[in-house]
Amino acid sequence: MTLENRPFHTGGCQCGAVRFRIRGALGRASVCHCRMCQKAFGALYAPLVNVGSAELVWTKREPKRFRSSNQVLRGFCPECGTPLTYEAPDGVALAIGAFDDPSAIAPEIQFGIEAKLPYTDTVPGLPVRSSAEDASDNAYLSDIVSFQHPDREMPGDGPGETPHA
C-alpha cells in the first residue's frame, strides 16, 4: 500500500515507450474471446482488467489508439505495437500482461464466448517445456539478449515510487 493506503500498480509496453501507473483498487479482471479481441491481441483471447474507479496516469507517453468499432478504442504502443487498452463508454480496461506484476490479477469471468476457439480449453493439457529445455535444443536461444523494458519503473518512467499490489 502507498502512504495514502491505496493499492498501486505499474506497467507498460514491451519497449518501455508507454508506461502507466494506477492508484486504487482495480475492477474485475476478465478474458474476452470475441473476434475483435482475438485480432487486437493477436492471441486466442484478450486478458483485461477494468480500471474501475482507480486513477490511471500515463507516466511516459500515451498509447496510440485505433477505433475498432463505433463504441471502442484500442490503445497500443506506437513504437513496438504492444496492445494496452480497451476503451469503451463504460470505462477503460488494461491488458493484464502489460502490468509489471500480472501474477495477482486473475481473471474472474469470460466474455464473448460465442467466438471462443474450440481448442482453447485444451491448452493446459499440452506438453510443456521450460525456456532452458528449449535453449538446449536451439543454440541461438542461449545467446538471446532481451531489449524488452524491465518489469519495474525505471528512471525516466515518471515520478518514482515503489509499486505495491
* Per-residue confidence (pLDDT) for residue 39, from 0 to 100: 97
- Residue 51 falls in which region: left (phi positive, over 0), alpha (psi -120 to 50) or beta: alpha
If DSSP codes are grouped into helix, strand and coil, which group holds residue 99? Answer: strand
Could you tell me the mean pLDDT of each successive run of 10 residues in the chain, 165 residues long?
Answer: 69 96 96 97 98 95 96 97 97 97 96 98 94 74 74 65 41
* Per-residue confidence (pLDDT) for residue 165, from 0 to 100: 38
Determine the Cα angle at 67 with ends 65 and 71, to 5°.
125
* Per-residue confidence (pLDDT) for residue 161, from 0 to 100: 44
* Per-residue confidence (pLDDT) for residue 152, from 0 to 100: 74
> In CATH terms, is domain 8-119 a member of 3.60.70.12?
no
**How is the chain split into domains, by residue range?**
8-119
